Amino acid sequence: MDVALTVRSLIQTGAVGILITLLAISLHFLLYLMKVHSSKSKLITSSILAIILLTGKYLNYPVHRILNKFTSLGITHHSIDNAVKALIWLCFATLITSSLNYFVWEDNVNQLQQKSTPKLLVTLINITIHALFIMIIMRTVFNINVSNILAASGVGAFILGWSAKPTLTEFFAGIAIQMGGKLQKNAIISINNDEGILSDFNWRSISITPLTYNGKVLNHEVYIIPNSKLQSQSVRILRKPGEKKIRLEGSFFISPYSDLTICQKIIKNALLEHATEDSICLTLSGDNRGNYTISYTIMVHGLKNKVFFNESFEKSLIHRFIKNSQPIGQTRLPWTIDEKSEQSIMTQCTPEPPAIKNILQLLNRIDIFKALDEEDLASLINQSTTEYFIINEYIFHERVKEDYSLHILLSGKADAYQINNNRNRVKVDDFKMEDYFGLQSFLLDIPHRISVLTKEGAWCLKIPREALSPLLETYPQITESLGRLLAERKDEDDHTLEEYRQHHQVHNEPTSEMFIRKIKALFK
């Protein structure tokens, strides 16, 4: 009979507990509809429920008297009291965990500390707190001796831990990794030269969304790396969550037959096309045989710029080494060549240049050179240089303060870009054969305001000031034409014009006359 009563009491206690829990879930759902989510809604729900239960216990459960008066359920006062006391303890446990989650673990504090709390640690603390309160309920509400349970659980935990040793190894490795705080979700990391976005942590492993060499995100693939393996490997953090800059590293072998000064300058200028000078670090190392290696570290803004760097930098750099007659040593060529051929690498990698006759015809079609006779045009071409640029190679860049020649596109296509405030390239113009550019830098001796990047292989004629200077005395109309041309372009770049006026303290002089005077002074 006592057993039956005990079972009945437990059933009644469970039924009352389930009913009150359903009411709490309804309140939680109502808060969710009011857009009060996560730990905040749990905190509010547990607080309201605790107040209601404590009030009901203080008033000696008026609901019990109402149920006995109008129903025949026969729920005892003792069953309701056990259910309420158990739920009060659970409310306290939920209050503690939700308060920790809301006020300590989550963004309210993390936004100030810039440090996320390990998810595994939070889960472990929450489980421990609830387990402690469950033992309190067993001892104080149901009068169960927990000492025997703890003793038995200790033996069981030893057996379980021994059998699940690999799993526990992953678990504690995960806690150690997350407690370090260096690896964070959405960071871009590199493991054994494999790059990816750290997409998720869990108690056993981490998930990484891979990135290809050129920076493409492979959303349909996921790498799963066990925590224990990750803990024993070298991991490079290329970009932390929320940061715009991505760290890129590399090295370039310098042959002992190369001119080290020229090579360093080529590499530095090539890096300036992708990053600002303060974001570039170059390191030179060598051996007793005269072999050198230049290592670089740069910070680029965003995946888009990283993709462009990986696609263009190495090919462009090798091509410039070849154009400057510098041996490339052990570096692998990005083009196929015939090693048995008697032709040089430069000849094999460069298409046939435009004939002088074709260049003469092209210059005759350009307004500023129409006044020149054939002999003067030929002299101008002889004093100029033709240079070939591969696809995705800069003809000049606004951050590289050199090469203020006048550039004329003899073949191919190119785009003009400017660097915006977010350090991204913004297309502002495009060029085709017969177009010329770099005019302001050529005539006013000021830095380039644009960067010109080839869309395909292109030949370019580079006219230095020294080649044009003697022709200005013979053809004064060229000076006037260039002055008017610069004046017409002033509306396209009022900022550059205003800076020029302030620098040279010229304010009231008409724009075209100011430019003509400057051109004459520069080309004396």
Instruction: Specify whether 355 is located in the same domain as 493.
Output: yes
Kindly tell me if the per-residue pLDDT of 112 is higher than 50. no
Of the ranges 128-137, 170-179, 404-413, which one carries the lowest mean pLDDT score? 170-179
What local confidence, expressed as pLDDT, does residue 360 receive? 92
Instruction: Specify whether 61 is located in the same domain as 186.
Output: no
- Cut 0.75: pTM above it: no
The predicted-structure confidence for 167-180, as pLDDT tens digits, reads as follows 666 666 666 666 66
Q: Which residues of 461-475 are buried (b: 16+ CB within 10 A; e: fewer)?
A: bbbeeebbeebbeeb
Mean per-residue pLDDT, 99-114: 60
State whether residue 501 is helix, strand or coil.
helix
The predicted-structure confidence for 424-448, as pLDDT tens digits, reads as follows 888 999 999 999 998 888 877 888 8
Task: Yes or no: say if 56 and 84 are a contact pair by the CB < 8 Å rule.
Answer: yes
Residue that is last in its domain, among 239, 255, 270: 239
What local confidence, expressed as pLDDT, does residue 32 receive? 80
251 bridge partner residues: 295
Q: Is residue 256 part of a domain?
A: yes
Tokens of 278: 């303060």
Instruction: Specify whether 12 is located in the same domain as 147.
Output: yes
Percent pLDDT > 70 in the chain is 76
Kindly tell me if the per-residue pLDDT of 462 is higher than 80. yes
Instruction: Specify whether 424 is located in the same domain as 372.
Output: yes
The predicted-structure confidence for 447-457, as pLDDT tens digits, reads as follows 888 999 999 99
What local confidence, expressed as pLDDT, does residue 452 receive? 94
Dihedral of alpha carbons 366, 371, 377, 380, sign: negative
State whether residue 299 is helix, strand or coil.
strand
Q: Is residue 465 part of a domain?
A: yes
Q: How far apart (Å, rounded) are the C-alpha atoms in residues 436 and 447?
A: 17
The predicted-structure confidence for 294-345, as pLDDT tens digits, reads as follows 999 998 888 888 888 888 898 899 889 888 888 876 556 666 666 666 666 6
Residue that is last in its domain, among 130, 163, 196: 163
Q: Is residue 168 part of a domain?
A: no
Q: Is residue 345 part of a domain?
A: no
Residue that is last in its domain, among 133, 163, 193: 163
| Residue 70 amino acid letter | F
Between these two residues, 494 and 346, which has the higher pLDDT value?
346
Instruction: Specify whether 209 is located in the same domain as 86.
Output: no
State whether residue 62 is helix, strand or coil.
helix
Percent pLDDT > 90 in the chain is 15
State the pLDDT confidence band at 512, using cuts at 50, 70 and 90: low
Instruction: Specify whether 188 is located in the same domain as 223.
Output: yes
Kindly tell me if the per-residue pLDDT of 119 is higher than 60. yes
Q: How far apart (Å, rounded) are the C-alpha atoms in residues 460 and 452?
A: 12
Instruction: Specify whether 378 is located in the same domain as 442.
Output: yes
State the pLDDT confidence band at 403, using cuts at 50, 70 and 90: confident
Phi, psi of 25 (to 5 degrees): -65, -40
What local confidence, expressed as pLDDT, does residue 111 receive? 44
Instruction: Specify whether 455 is located in the same domain as 499.
Output: yes
Q: Is residue 503 part of a domain?
A: yes
Instruction: Specify whether 70 is located in the same domain as 205.
Output: no
Strand order in the sheet with 414-419: 394-396, 451-454, 414-419, 425-431
Kindly tell me if the per-residue pLDDT of 27 is higher than 80. yes
Q: How far apart (Å, rounded) are the C-alpha atoms in residues 42 and 94?
A: 7
State the pLDDT confidence band at 502, using cuts at 50, 70 and 90: low
Domain span holding position 34? 2-163
Q: How far apart (Å, rounded) are the C-alpha atoms in residues 198 and 207?
A: 6
**CATH number of the CATH domain containing 396:** 2.60.120.10
Q: How far apart (Å, rounded) are the C-alpha atoms in residues 254 and 272?
A: 19
What local confidence, expressed as pLDDT, does residue 155 receive? 55
Q: Is residue 228 part of a domain?
A: yes
Instruction: Specify whether 218 is located in the same domain as 283.
Output: no
Q: Is residue 170 part of a domain?
A: no
Kindly tell me if the per-residue pLDDT of 404 is higher than 80. yes
Domain count, the chain: 4
Q: How far apart (Å, rounded) are the C-alpha atoms in residues 504 and 146?
A: 90
Q: Is residue 341 part of a domain?
A: no
Instruction: Specify whether 288 is located in the same domain as 232.
Output: no
Instruction: Specify whether 20 is located in the same domain as 106.
Output: yes
293 bridge partner residues: 253, 285
**CATH number of the CATH domain containing 304:** 3.30.70.100
Pairing of strands 292-301, 245-254: antiparallel
State the pLDDT confidence band at 383, using cuts at 50, 70 and 90: very high
